[in-house]
Chain A
Amino acid sequence: MKSVYRKIFLVIISICVLLFSAAMVHSYTAERPEISSQGEIDQQIYLAPIKPEDDTCIQCHVDETFTNIWTPTVRWVLFGAAGIFFLFGFARSASVWRSREAWVPIPKRISLYLDDRFQLSDFLKPILSKPVPDWQRRWWYCLGGLTFFLFIVQGITGIMLAFYYKPTPAEAYASILFIENEVLLGSAIRMIHHWSANGMIVMACAHMLRVFIMGAYKPPRELNWISGVALFVMTLGFGFTGYLLPWDQRAYWATTVGTEIAGGIPVIGELALVFLRTGWSITGLTLSRFFALHILILPLITVTSMGMHFLMVRKQGIMKPL
């Protein structure tokens, strides 16, 4: 008897899906009347989107003089969400009615499904059920975690900025102006990236001071301290390389001075300077190099060191103060 219900259910769903896709195909391919005025364009916007080959101004969708690209998306999301909502309610009621058993929530089902296949609870139970003593629940133990949190924020906003940033001397400045003035929420993302960077340095310093004062760097945790120092240097490296990227006067000359300081190191100074600047002066190659360091090399090294840092903390636990 069960299979009959399932078949009826599937047939109804397939008819709905077919009808809906037919309607969407029709709305895209139907003959469109000639458009003569802006008022008619506004009316047409709510009927169907313009076909890509008729849409001559892609830039207009970005600078919001022309917004109909959102109309089908909004429609899909709205009707799709309503459809999923009603289908889910129907399936849930049908299931309870058929089996006479309480409904198992979806997250519970997912965890059961995964646990069935990978035995995750064997691995997670000791981690989750581990008691946390009260002396570990003080605010100074969350400074390192907050540094990590801000690093994640930096990663996300940095990826968002990288969508629009162009690492060439001719275009870097203009692309930052574009991010600040044209891109939706661009100035907000840049502000978050700017201030989270400062916050990350403050938090890393605070974490380092906490570990230093409590003496948590002493054996057997000395390797963890060393990886922490490496992470700190990496954070400063992020600040140094990221500072050149806007390619304004401040960035250019601060980097000039900074690399000159590196050039003052005895023996390897000139090599360091030439390596950092990719030559004797700061050019487009320097910008490319700093961009690569900032978005590829430093993140890779940082994530690896962070993994080691966290594994060691996990293994050795937090040092209990006197």
Chain B
Amino acid sequence: MSEKQENNSVPFYPDHLKSEAKVALGVGILVILTGVLGLFFPVGLGAPADPMDTPLHVKPEWYFLFLYQLLRFIPKTIGAITPVIIVLLLAIWPILDSKPDQTKKPIRVRILVSIVVLLIIIGLTIWGEVS
């Protein structure tokens, strides 16, 4: 062990594995419940695809909805490169912000940033859903 021995610790096997198995079991039960629900209320299908008939309201899945809503208000080219830039920014983020935290302050700043971004995304999603 490279780090010094921790005082408050449990062995990985069987204690920690047991609690992890409990979490997995809980989610597994949720998954099976979803399946049971699906027996009574199936996911279902819309009308078959028809390239000649454009529906009035085309909406993507909820996780692309905020992007779709954003695209209504900004030019097409900027809207198309926005997701690419977001992903690239996420990918190089550790290079931009590489100093290790000395105090709790940067953590609070990141929490604030996350909350703001999340609120914007959730707001755009709800807006896209109701409009």
Contact = CB atoms under 8 A, between A and B. Distances in A.
Interface of A: 127-134, 137, 142, 145-146, 149-150, 153, 169, 173, 176-177, 180, 185, 187-192, 194-196, 198, 201, 209, 212-215, 217-219, 221-222, 225-226, 229-230, 232-233, 236, 239-240, 243, 246-254, 256-258, 261-266, 269, 281-282, 317, 321-322
B9 A218 contact: no
A11 B110 CA distance: 74
A90 B51 CA distance: 69
B53 A249 contact: yes
B84 A190 contact: no
Nearest to A130: B12
B90 A215 contact: no
B36 to A, nearest CB: 7
11 contacts: A129-B13, A131-B12, A137-B19, A180-B43, A192-B32, A212-B110, A219-B100, A229-B91, A240-B64, A249-B53, A269-B80
A236 B63 contact: yes
A251 B38 contact: no
Interface in B88-108: 90-91, 93-95, 97-101, 103-104, 106-107
Interface in B57-76: 58-64, 67-68, 71, 76
Interface in B34-52: 34-39, 41-51
B16 A219 contact: no
A243 B49 CA distance: 13
A312 to B, nearest CB: 13
B42 A253 contact: no
Given A201-B63, A247-B48, A256 B58 contact: yes
B55 A180 contact: no
A209 B12 contact: no
B94 A195 contact: no
Sort chain B's interface into a size bin: 35 or more
Given A127-B12, A137-B10, A189-B35, A253 B55 contact: yes
Given A137-B19, A257-B60, A282-B51, A265 B93 contact: no
Sorted from nearest, which 10 A-B pairs have the closest CB atoms? A191-B38, A264-B80, A222-B94, A252-B49, A188-B35, A131-B9, A133-B6, A128-B13, A187-B42, A248-B46
Interface in B7-33: 8-13, 15-16, 19-20, 23-24, 27-28, 31-32
B87 interface: yes
A200 B62 CA distance: 13
Interface of B: 1, 3, 5-6, 8-13, 15-16, 19-20, 23-24, 27-28, 31-32, 34-39, 41-51, 53-55, 58-64, 67-68, 71, 76-77, 79-81, 84, 87, 90-91, 93-95, 97-101, 103-104, 106-107, 110-111, 114, 118
B36 A188 contact: yes
Contacts of B45: 173, 176-177, 180, 246, 248
A191 B33 CA distance: 10
B58 to A, nearest CB: 4
B19 to A, nearest CB: 7
A282 B95 CA distance: 39
Contacts of B27: 146, 149-150
Nearest to A196: B31
A277 to B, nearest CB: 12
A188 B15 CA distance: 34
Contacts of A246: 45
Nearest to A214: B107
Give the interface centre of A185, A219, A249, A269 by most chain B CB atoms within 10 Å.
A249
A231 to B, nearest CB: 12
Given A194-B43, A196-B31, 18 more contacts: A133-B6, A134-B10, A146-B27, A173-B49, A177-B45, A190-B42, A191-B37, A191-B38, A215-B100, A222-B94, A233-B87, A247-B48, A247-B49, A252-B49, A265-B81, A265-B84, A266-B80, A322-B103
